[in-house]
Amino acid sequence: MDVISMKGITKIFGSVVANKDIDFEVRFGEIHALLGENGAGKSTLVNMLSGIYTPDSGSIFIREKEVKLTSPRAAIDVGIGMIHQHYKLVEIMTALENIMLGQKGGGFLRANIIREKIEKLSQRFQLGVDLDKKVYEMSVGEKQTLEILKVLYRGANILILDEPTAVLTPQETEKLFQVMNRMKDEGCAVIFITHKMNEVLRISDRLTVLRKGQKVKTLETKSTNTKELAELMVGHPVNLAINRVETVKGKVLLEVKNLTCVNEEKVQVLKGLNFTIRGGEILGVAGIAGSGQKELCEAIAGLYPVKDGEIIFDEENIVGLTPRQIITKGISMSFVPEDRLGMGLVASMDIVDNMILKDYHKQKGFLINRKPAAEKAVKIVKQLDISTPSIHHPIKELSGGNIQKVLLGRELEAHPKLLITAYPVRGLDINVSYKIYDLINEEKKKGEAILFVGEDLDVLIELCDRIMVLCHGEITGIVEAAKTTKEELGLLMAGEKHQDMEGITRDQNS
Partner 1 sequence: MIRIAKRAKMSKAKSAGIRLLAILLALLTSAVLIVLALSLHPLDVYIALFKGAFGSAYRIREVVESATALTIVSLGITIAFKMQFWNIGGEGQICMGAFFASFLALNFPEMSKPLLLTLMILAGMLGGGLWALIPAYFKAKWRTNETIITLMMNYVALKWLTYLQFGPWKDPNALGFPKIANFADNAILPEVFGVHIGWIFALILVVLVSIFLNHSKKGYEIAVLGESENTALYAGVNIKRTIITAVFISGALCGLTGMIQASAVNNTLSVEISKGIGFTAIITTWLGFLKPAFILVVSILFAALVQGGSFIQTAVGIPQAVAELLQGLILFFVLGCEFFIRYKVVLEKPLFNVRRGTKE
Which amino acid does the sequence have at 400?
Answer: G
93 near partner 1, judged by CB under 8 A: no
Q: Which stretch binds partner 1 (CB under 8 A): 94-102, 129-137, 205-213, 365-373?
A: 365-373
66 near partner 1, judged by CB under 8 A: yes
52 near partner 1, judged by CB under 8 A: no
Contacts (CB under 8 A) with partner 1, residues 392-451 = 397
346 near partner 1, judged by CB under 8 A: yes
202 near partner 1, judged by CB under 8 A: no
360 near partner 1, judged by CB under 8 A: yes
Which strand (E) or helix (H) includes residue 422? strand 418-422
509 near partner 1, judged by CB under 8 A: no
Cα-Cα-Cα-Cα torsion 141, 145, 150, 153, nearest 10 degrees, comes to 180
d(CA 35, CA 206): 11
Q: Which stretch binds partner 1 (CB under 8 A): 21-29, 84-92, 144-152, 358-366?
A: 358-366
Question: Which residue among 90, 240, 343, 504 contacts partner 1 (CB under 8 A)?
Answer: 343
264 near partner 1, judged by CB under 8 A: no
Question: Which residue among 356, 414, 439, 461 contacts partner 1 (CB under 8 A)?
Answer: 356
Compute CA 65 distance to the chain's CA centroid, rounded to the nearest angstrom: 36
Q: How far is the CB of 219 from partner 1 (least distance, A)?
A: 27
Question: Which residue among 92, 241, 248, 367 contacts partner 1 (CB under 8 A)?
Answer: 367
Q: How far is the CB of 235 from partner 1 (least distance, A)?
A: 25
486 CB neighbour count, 10 Å cutoff = 15
d(CA 392, CA 404): 16
477 near partner 1, judged by CB under 8 A: no
Sort 120 into a burial class: Cβ within 10 Å, 0-12 / 13-18 / 19+.
exposed
The strand pairing partners of 479, in sequence order, are 467
d(CA 361, CA 469): 36
Residues near partner 1 (CB under 8 A), total: 34
Question: Which residue among 68, 120, 415, 445 contacts partner 1 (CB under 8 A)?
Answer: 68
500 near partner 1, judged by CB under 8 A: no
23 near partner 1, judged by CB under 8 A: no
Sort 252 into a burial class: Cβ within 10 Å, 0-12 / 13-18 / 19+.
middle
Backbone angles phi, psi at 42, to 5 degrees: -65, -50
Q: Quick check: helix, strand or coil at residue 463?
A: helix
Q: Quick check: helix, strand or coil at residue 320?
A: coil
- Helix ranges restricted to H, 53-110: 72-77, 95-100
Q: Which stretch binds partner 1 (CB under 8 A): 138-146, 217-225, 324-332, 420-428?
A: 324-332
End-to-end CA distance of the chain: 53
Interaction site with partner 1 (CB under 8 A): 13-15, 54, 59, 66, 68, 301, 303, 322-325, 327, 333, 342-349, 353, 356-358, 360-361, 363, 366-368, 397
